[in-house]
Amino acid sequence: MAQTNSSPPSDFIREMIEEHIRSNRFQGRVATRFPPEPNGYLHVGHAKSICLNFGIAAQYKGACNLRMDDTDPSGESLEYVESIINDVRWLGFDWEDRLFYASDYFEQLYQFAVQLIETGKAYVCSLSADEIREQRGTLTEPGKESPYRNRSIEENLALFAQMRAGKFEDGAHVLRAKIDMVSPNITMRDPVFYRIKRATHYRTGTQWCIYPMYDFAHCLSDSIEKITHSICTLEFENNRPLYDWILDQLNVDYHPQQIEFARLNLSYTILSKRRLIELVGREHVTGWDDPRMPTIAGMRGRGYTPEAIRNFCARIGVAKNDNLVDISLLEHCVREDLNERAPRVMGVLRPLRVVIDNYPEGQVEEFECPNRPQNPGMGSRMVPFSRVLYIEQEDFHENPPKKYYRLGPGREVRLRYSFIIKCVNMVKDKQTGEIVEVHCTYDPETRNGPPSDGRKVEGVIHWVSANHSVPAEVRLYDRLFQIADPMAKEDDFTKYLNPRSLETLTSCRVESSLAGALPGSRFQFERLGYFYLDPKDSSPGKLVFNRIVPLRDSWAKVASQEKK
RNA sequence: UGGGGGAUCGUUCAAUGGUAGGACAACGGACUCUGACUCCGUGAAUCGAGGUUCAACUCCUCGUCCCCCAGCCA
């Protein structure tokens, strides 16, 4: 059962697992689980956990379960369950027939609670929520024992049965563990295990009016599923003694090991479910799947690939340090993946009309353009050329800045895969002074190579033929926040939302080959970035592209430094 | 502050008493019909003070700073 491959463990969790395998702690078994609560969409922080849990299971020939941790009906819904299932599968993981629900264990959990009462380890407490809070003590003061702590087992049993039977109002009683009100670990001060809550559960409906708390349900669910390693985030470290206490009192036959790791934080975004819900609720974004969101659904809609996300998760590592991972690493992983697989095309985002004065009116010729120059196996397509073209507005400057080697008055530039052209004139709008058209001449002998007189033309720009290109809408996405760590600020985090996180361009022109492109496919628009043909918003005759990530742009750096 | 965790290049992860290393970011260069990609190179860190040792990121002592816990949320 233990793997034979001798590659060293890559993190402290795998190290511990290998130690358990050596010592035969779980008979060599490895079983993990990913246990989301279906009260929101999964984000890239969850992706880290998914990759960890499923990755470990695969590596050690074990299995990873998908379990909905649905013990609090308020906020949970089928919509979220479906999104979670969809997202984990899209990421590339398979739980086979092991989709479980904590709510399926409600009856078993109830029986475990009864056992605890029978052995005098739990009691029904009739204090109000406020009173319980007051008597819990503080960080520095011990708590006080509840006056209901010493009720008889019979009375507790009867009361608990009545709680289940719906005899009491919400909040009238709770079931608490009888542990230690003066424990320095506040988690151990007689924690609540069951509360009365008349809420319709999306799966069990009104069958129950009492629901188990996380601490009680989670360890037992793990035990029921015979999980060996229950991997969770750092904030549950204080809860581990309780996790172990419950399983010890109940003398269950399976006692998993809880291991905690540091959750992912990503710069220029937020990964707190609560805050994400707020962004959706306050309509700062269009929904959970808004392409600016760090949710799996958002990244999918943006055009990120599962491979890129998985690779990112592998690279950030697993440790116990608080961290704020640079989002440029995620962007790097996306580019790295797309560089290999995205075919190159040309598209002009902000068109500037170019007339080639010495090119015959009505003439059209085609250039064969490789879909990926570095990989001839990806084929090529024909791109039409004619007298009137569009180039990018920013590829022309009337007064070119230093180190700029694109088009300007009297300057020459290479049209990608086409001729060298020279700017001979420009037309300005009489009112605004804005350049609306540029006139050039082309050099026919440069069609297949450099000019014979040896002159150097450094600039290469992309272009499309005015008459042959097709219109497109392009959405330029940028970072959601303007500062690296919006959560570190005391005030309202929405203050730091990036007002330019979305720019929609509606008069873009893309090469004709894109007219029949498959929705959901990804392209590199040469010199610009990677783009995703949005399958939700595109329709026959209407192309809508999302910018997945821009290309690295060293000119932007030069330009901004020249300005200083 | 009672308890629980954590401190290593700008960021992140490693080094498990024996040359502090990788990745991202930054910077410089080569290449280039993508200012992309690729390649080469540069700078950059052990929280502090003591101690043990031939040798300390690692072990010991004392500090400092950061995170988590006072939901009938997870």
Q: How much is the pLDDT for A490?
A: 79
Does residue A165 form part of some domain?
yes
Same domain for A516 and A457? no
Task: Please check whether residue A2 lies inside any domain of the structure.
Answer: no
- Domain assignment of residue A477, yes or no: yes
pLDDT tens-digit readout, A102-124: 999 999 999 999 999 999 999 99
> A269 and A294 in contact (C-beta within 8 Å)?
yes
Residues found in chain A: 564
- Specify whether A564 is catalytic: no
Last residue of a domain, one of A261, A284, A316: A261
Proportion of chain A above pLDDT 90, given as a percent: 95
Residues A322 and A359 in one domain: no
Give the pLDDT confidence of A260-318 residue by residue, as tens digits: 999 999 999 999 999 999 999 999 999 999 999 999 999 999 999 999 999 999 999 99
DSSP labels for A207-265?
Answer: S-SEEE-HHHHHHHHHHHTT-SEEEEEGGGGGGHHHHHHHHHHHT-S--PEEEEEPPP-
With CA of A460 and C1' of each nucleotide, the nearest comes out as: B33
What digits encode the pLDDT tens for the residues A297-308?
999 999 999 999
Q: Is residue A7 part of a domain?
A: no
Give bridge partners of residue A97 from the DSSP assignment: none
Are residues A435 and A376 both part of a single domain?
yes
Q: From CA A297, how far away is CA A43, in angstroms rounded?
A: 8
Select which of A48, A195, A273, A406 is catalytic: A273
- Tell me, yes or no, whether A411 and A278 share the same domain: no
* Structural domain includes residue A267: no
Instruction: Count the domains in chain A.
Output: 3
Is A4 within a domain? no
Whether residues A523 and A374 share a domain: the answer is no
Instruction: Answer whether residue A3 is part of any domain.
Output: no
Element spanning A477, H or E: strand A470-477
Is A398 known to be catalytic? no
Can you give the CATH number for the domain in which A304 is found?
A: 2.40.240.10
Query: How distant is C1' of B71 from CA of A272, in Å?
Result: 17
| A137 CA: nearest nucleotide by C1' | B70
For the cut 60, the answer to whether the pLDDT of residue A1 exceeds it is: no
> pTM of the predicted model, to two decimals?
0.97
Residues A121 and A256 in one domain: yes
Beta bridge partner(s), residue A66: A34, A99
Query: A329 and A392: one domain?
Result: no
Instruction: Encode pLDDT of A485-530 as tens digits.
Output: 999 887 899 999 999 999 999 999 999 999 999 999 999 999 999 9
Please indicate, yes or no, whether residues A130 and A85 belong to a single structural domain of this protein.
yes
Nearest nucleotide (C1') to alpha carbon of A131: B72
Q: Which bases on strand B have an atom closer than 7 Å to a protein beta carbon?
A: 1-8, 10-14, 16, 22-27, 33-38, 66-74
Instruction: Quote the pLDDT of residue A562.
Output: 73
What number is the average pLDDT over the span A467-477? 98
Task: Exactly one of A197, A263, A275, A381 is catalytic; name it.
Answer: A263
| One domain for residues A202 and A131 | yes
Query: Which domain, by its residues, includes A385?
Result: 350-467
Segment A355-396, tens digit of pLDDT: 999 999 999 999 999 999 999 999 999 999 999 999 999 999
Q: Does A323 share its domain with A375? A: no
CA of A329 to C1' of B43 (A): 21
Q: Is the dihedral of CA A435, A437, A442, A448 positive or negative?
A: positive
Distance A373 CA to B28 C1' (A): 27
- Nearest nucleotide over every DNA/RNA strand to the A102 CA, judged by C1': B74
pLDDT at res. A230: 98
- Residue A273: active-site member: yes
Q: What is the ipTM of this complex?
A: 0.97
Question: Mean pLDDT throughout A140-159?
Answer: 98
In a domain, A98, yes or no: yes
Residue that is last in its domain, among A436, A467, A498: A467
**Catalytic residue among A37, A145, A365, A394, which?**
A37
Span CA (A143) to C1' (B11), Å: 42
Residues A159 and A292 reside in one and the same domain: no
Query: Is residue A43 domain-shared with residue A119, that is, in the same domain?
Result: yes
Choosing from A229, A261, A293, the residue where a domain stops is: A261
